[in-house]
Copies of this chain bind each other. A is one copy, B any other.
Amino acid sequence: MQLVDELLAGNRRALARTISIVEDGGPAAPPLLAALYPHTGRGHVIGITGAPGTGKSTLVNALARSYRQQGRTVGIIAVDPTSPFSGGALLGDRVRMRDLAGDPGIFIRSMATRGNLGGLARATADVISVLDAAGFERILVETVGVGQAEVDIASAAHTTVVVEAPGLGDEVQAIKAGVLEIADLFAVNKADREGADHTVMALQMMQGLAPVPAGHHGTTGGTGRSHHAEAGAQPDGGWLPPITKTVAMRGEGVEMLRDWIELHAVHLRETDGLARREVARAATELDQILRDQLITALLTRLPPGHLDATLAAIARREIDPYTAGAQLLAQFS
């Protein structure tokens, strides 16, 4: 395919057009992705997630700049599950563009949901594949919002960075119970604010480590680690998520964060971690694709008006949704 050849040759317009086709998810997308897929598997995918107000976008920009200083190319996907209807440019986007645009080693794409969250996770995974095939060495996937959306999207990443910030209140603290299980790295951003050490300690306690006396904390960029365990790769092949402090606005601690990401990438390659994550990524995407294809196939085969009649019957309480579903399924197979 000419579009694929152009994309692989580094044509930026071909890249943008391919992403648009893939995002739309129409019939032109699967053959494109099939042609690109053998060229994927080289980029390292970094998910960056956290609650609103943690300064994720600034941190992503700082991280991208830091990678550029190393000469690495960077793709950025900003996913906003909180803008289900806009479908267009995000608020932070113009700021981001002004900051990083014009550098041919960076490609930025914003994505909002189209109808359902599963669709967004699918589209995100596909756009990652396109950027990967186009040769971007580090792919940063930023998700704005909190909750299951992040977890779903994190499943497309090799390394997941959870961003926290001091003083976001109790409701935000509660979120940690969930994100703890997806984090490969913690970044306590806005670490020059009061309460940063408290946030670090709270994370350490959630990791089941004894808290470190206040005086022992590192400064910005330090890991504030207890003496009970060193963060990072463990002797048993495991990985204890490091906790780094950053002040993204001033670029402080960003190189340390970048280096931890790279250490995690090495750790994945040296253990069976990378292979396991690749299988998990495949499972997530295949599951979503199959669900879409199956329901499309079923609806296509229904006689005209049948679905509307079924929905009306459910709404009138003449049949329940489970029985209706079972009947439709029986007709299908």
Q: Taking beta carbons and an 8 Å cutoff, which residues of A are in contact with B?
A: 29-30, 33-34, 36-38, 40-41, 51-53, 81-86, 90-91, 113, 116-118, 120, 144-149, 151-152, 169-172, 174-175, 177-178, 181, 275, 278-279, 281-283, 285-287, 289-291, 293-295, 297-298, 310-312, 314-317, 319-326, 328-329, 332-333
Chain B residues, CB < 8 A from A286: 310-311, 314, 321, 324-325
Helix, strand, loop or mixed for chain A's interface? helix
Given contacts A81-B147, A286-B324, 12 further A-B contacts (CB under 8 A): A30-B323, A30-B326, A41-B317, A53-B169, A81-B149, A82-B148, A84-B178, A120-B148, A144-B171, A146-B146, A278-B316, A290-B329
In Å, the complex CA distance between A315 and B287 comes to 14
The complex places the Cα of A120 from the Cα of B116 at a distance, in Å, of 13
Are B311 and A84 in contact, CB atoms less than 8 angstroms apart? no
The answer to whether B317 and A146 touch across the interface, beta carbons within 8 angstroms, is no
A298 surroundings in chain B (CB, below 8 A): 290, 294
**Are B148 and A81 in touch, CB under 8 angstroms?**
yes
Distance between Cα atoms of A298 and B287 in the complex (Å): 11
Residue with the highest number of chain B CB atoms closer than 10 Å, among A279, A282, A328: A282
